[in-house]
Amino acid sequence: MTARPPHTLSPDVYDDAYYLSEAIEGYAAHRRGELSPLRAKHLALTAPVPGLAVLDIGFARGDLLRAVAETGARAFGLDYSPAACRIARRTAPAAALARGDAMRLPFADGSFDRVFAGDILEHQDREGGVLLLREMWRVLRPGGFLLAHTTPNRHFRSLVWPLARPLLRRMAPDTARDVDGQFAVMDRVHLHEYTPGELRRAAAEAGLPRAGLRVWVDPDLLRGDDYRVTRALASRPLVRLAAAVCARGPLLALFGNDLYLRCEKGLG
């Protein structure tokens, strides 16, 4: 087995079976040659336009890279899994792919207008996450921005889910089983999960400036109407009402699972 790189798991953990399954969100959409709603949101937030250089760190199956290239932006990707590189070469043939370490990016300072890391931070230990953010900032051009998405919110997993799980097992046992299954996958590959406050602290330790930095929790708690895990729940009016209530004020920091960090690099 390949030696374990510092701060993360061996790349052998991330094999073809891992990527070609719902262990990675959006597999059904990938098979149709489409973006899942979550990946479509990431594309919109990254905002690629023709001519911009966009780096996707931890590109997995390459779905976002393909969509970035289709906008006319110059799509670059880095992943350290050989399986991801093989799959993404088929998915996104127009993208420039590299295999490497996200905590030691093989790119010069200021190489990219957008730098995106989707669901990668939680696969590093705490120190590795800080190193990743620092490297994202280093390769970002002045005038550009970096964007990171991480899930789950540790507040939800440690505080809310133990209380909600017994109720959900009675109300929607299939959904409860799916959530348990997703958490089982996360237990295998996640080294450090974040809260909103901890994500801010990691950004500060990485040297990201407070000016231009935003950390937020997505208020779409059900991930729309067609997310595989919550699809059945999203059709229930009472559940939708409860989700709308929990998406407000301080409750959002407990019930929201999709955490985002965005930081702009000034021209000065």
pLDDT of residue 2: 57
Q: In the chain, what percentage of residues exceed pLDDT 90?
A: 86
Q: Measured between alpha carbons, how far apart are the two ends of the chain, in Å?
A: 46
- Please state, in angstroms and rounded to a whole number, the distance separating the CA atoms of residues 139 and 97: 16
Which residue type, as a one-letter code, is found at position 200?
R
**pTM of the predicted structure, to 2 decimals:** 0.95
Distance CA 2, CA 248 (A): 45
pLDDT of residue 23: 85
Residue 72 backbone dihedrals phi, psi, to 5 degrees? 95, -5
> Could you tell me if 86 and 79 are in contact, meaning their C-beta atoms sit under 8 angstroms apart?
no
Per-residue model confidence as pLDDT tens digits over 112-153: 999 999 999 999 999 999 999 999 999 999 999 999 999 999
Residues in the chain where the model's pLDDT stays below 50 = 1
Residue 225's pLDDT is: 78
pLDDT of residue 226: 78
Give the model's pLDDT for residue 1.
45
CA dist 106 and 129 (Å) reads 17
Alpha-carbon distances, residue 22 vs 27, 158, 221 (angstroms): 5, 23, 19
Under 8 Å between Cβ of 234 and 222: yes
